[in-house]
Structure 1
C-alpha cells in the first residue's frame, strides 16, 4: 500500500503535470470506486479546474476551483499513470480523468477509491488522523508527549494512523531498523534515548524515501525517473534472507500482529 513518501511523490509530480489544468472528460469503469452515481460524479467534476493537489497522511486531495475536493486513497495495489491514450498501461483502469489529449488513469482500485466531497466533509472525515511526522512543528518534545502513554509494540504503534499519519507496513520496518530497535518491542519499555532515536529515525527514513521517490513499481508518466527510486535504498523490507546492510547478518521475516515484518536480530535490540 502506498504510504506517505509515495503520496508525497505523487503530489509533487501531479502538481507539475495537472496543477491548473481543467478536467475535460471523465470515464468511470467501476462505480464502486466513487461515492456518487457515475453521471452525477461526471457532471460535478467535468470542466472543473484542478487548482492544486495536497497530501494528508496516505491521501491525496485534488482541490477543484468550485471548492469541492476529490479525495483519493489508493489502498492496496492502487497506482496512477498520466499520459496520452497510446501510452496507457495494459492494465484495467477503474477511473480516468481527461485533460485535453492527456489522461490521468487510476489503476488497481479494487479497495481504493476517489470520492468527491466538500472541503467540510473532507475535514470531518480526516479528523481521526494523528500528527504529520514531517511537519515542522512536530518536535521531539511533541513526539515524547504523544508516545508517553502508549503500550503497544513499536510495529503496531507506528502503523496506527491515529498515532502518526502516513506510516505503513514498509516504512515501520525501515524506521525500526534505522533506530536499531526490534519492531516487537513494547513502546513503554523504551528509555529516553531509544525514544529520541525512534523520533529521529522516523524523520530520517521518511525524508530519505521522499527524496528518492518512494517505492512504487510503476512510473507516473513516460520519462518519470523519480517515482520508485527508494527501492535500492531499502534496508530490510522484503529482504528476507539477504545480508543486513549494517552488520551482514541475515534479515528475518516474521508476523507481528498479522503483519509481515522484516528485521535483523543481530543489530536491532
Structure 2
C-alpha cells in the first residue's frame, strides 16, 4: 500500500502535469470507486480546473476551482498513470480524467477510491488523522510527549494513523532499523534520548524515501525516472533471510499484530 513518500512523490509530479489545466472529459469504468453517480461526477468535473494538489497522510487531495475536492486513497494495489491511450498500461482503469491531450488513469482501485467531497465533508473525513511526521510544527518535544502515554509494540503504534499519519508497513520497519530499535519494543519503555533518536530516524527515513521516489513499481508517466527509486534501497523491509547490510546477520521475517515485520536482531535492540 502506498505510504507517505509514495503519495508525496505523486503529489509533486502530478502538480507539474495537471495543476492549472482544465478537465476536458471524465470516464468512470467502476462506479463503486466513486461516491456519487457517474453522471454527477462527470458534470461536476468537466470544465473545472485543479488548482492545487495536497497530501494528507496517505491521501491525495485534488482541489478544484469549484470549491469541491477529489479525495484519493489508493489502498492496496492502486496506482496511477498519466499519458495517452497509446502508452497507457494494459490494465483495467476504474476512472479516467482527461486534461486535453493527456489523461490521468486510475488503476487498481478495487479497495481504493476517488471521492468528490465538499470542504465540510473533506474536513470530517480527515478529522481523525494524527499529525504529519514531516510537518514543521510537529516538534521532537511533541513526539516525545505523545510517545510517553503509549504502551504496546512500537510498529503498531507507528502505523496507527490516528497517532501519526502516513506511515505503514514498509517505513515503520525502516524507521525502527534506522533508530536501532526492535519493532516489537514496548513503546512505553522508550526513554527521552531514545525517543529523540526515533524522531530523527523517522524524519530521515521518510525524507530519504521521498528523495528517491518511494517504492512504487510502476512509473507515473513514460520517462518518469523518479517514481519507485526506493525499491532497491530497502535496508530491512521485504528482505527476510537476506544479509543485513550493516552487520551481515540474517534479516528476520515475522508477524506482529497480523502484519509482516522485518528487522535485524543484531543491529536492533
Normalising by structure 1, report the TM-score.
Answer: 0.99
Q: Deviations over 1:216-242 (max 9, x none)?
A: 000000000010001121110111111
Encode CA deviations 1:89-132: one digit per residue, 9 max, x unaligned: 00110100011121100000010000000112111111100000
Aligned to 2:134: 134
In the aligned structure 1, how far is the partner of 2:103 from the partner of 2:85?
Answer: 7
Identify the residue that residue 5 of structure 1 maps to in structure 2.
5
Alignment of 1:116-131 (within 5 A): 116-131=116-131
Report the Cα distance in structure 2 between the residues aligned to 1:5 and 1:138, rounded to whole angstroms: 17
Cα offset for 1:257? 0.2
How far off is 1:146 after superposition?
Answer: 1.1
Secondary structure at 1:207 match in 2: helix
1:193 offset after TM fit, Å? 1.8
- DSSP-derived class of the 1:195 partner: helix
SS of the residue corresponding to residue 86 of structure 2 reads helix
Superposed counterparts of 1:209-220, under 5 Å? 209-220=209-220
Match of 1:50 in 2: 50
Which SS does the other structure have where 2:127 is aligned? coil
Aligned residue for 1:19?
19
Give 3-state SS (helix, strand or coil) of 2:226's partner: coil
- Structure 2: how far apart are the matches of 1:130 and 1:113? 21
* DSSP 3-state at the match of 1:87: coil
Find the counterpart in structure 1 of residue 37 from structure 2.
37
SS at match of 1:155: helix
Bigger Cα displacement from structure 2, 191-200 vs 104-113: 191-200
Which residue of structure 2 aligns with residue 94 of structure 1? 94
Long gaps (5+) in structure 1:
none
Please list the CA deviations of residues 21-67 of structure 1 after superposition, one character each: whole Å capped at 9, or x if unmatched: 11110110101000001111111111110111100000000000010
Q: State how 1:140-155 maps to structure 2 within 5 Å.
A: 140-155=140-155
After superposition, the C-alpha distances for 1:123-160 in whole angstroms (9 at most, x for unaligned) are 11111000000011111101011111001210000000
Please list the CA deviations of residues 193-222 of structure 1 after superposition, one character each: whole Å capped at 9, or x if unmatched.
211111111000000000110000000000
- State the match for 2:197 in structure 1: 197
Deviation at 1:169, TM superposition (A): 0.6
Which 4+ stretches in 1 moved above 2 angstroms? none
Instruction: Confirm whether residue 63 of structure 1 aligns to residue 58 of structure 2.
Output: no
Q: What is the aligned length?
A: 269
* Structure 2 SS opposite 1:109: coil
Of 121-130 and 5-14, more deviation after overlay is shown by: 121-130
Counterpart residue number, 1:74: 74
Question: Matches of residues 152-191 of structure 1 in structure 2 within 5 Å?
Answer: 152-191=152-191
CA distance in 2, matches of 1:216, 1:25: 27
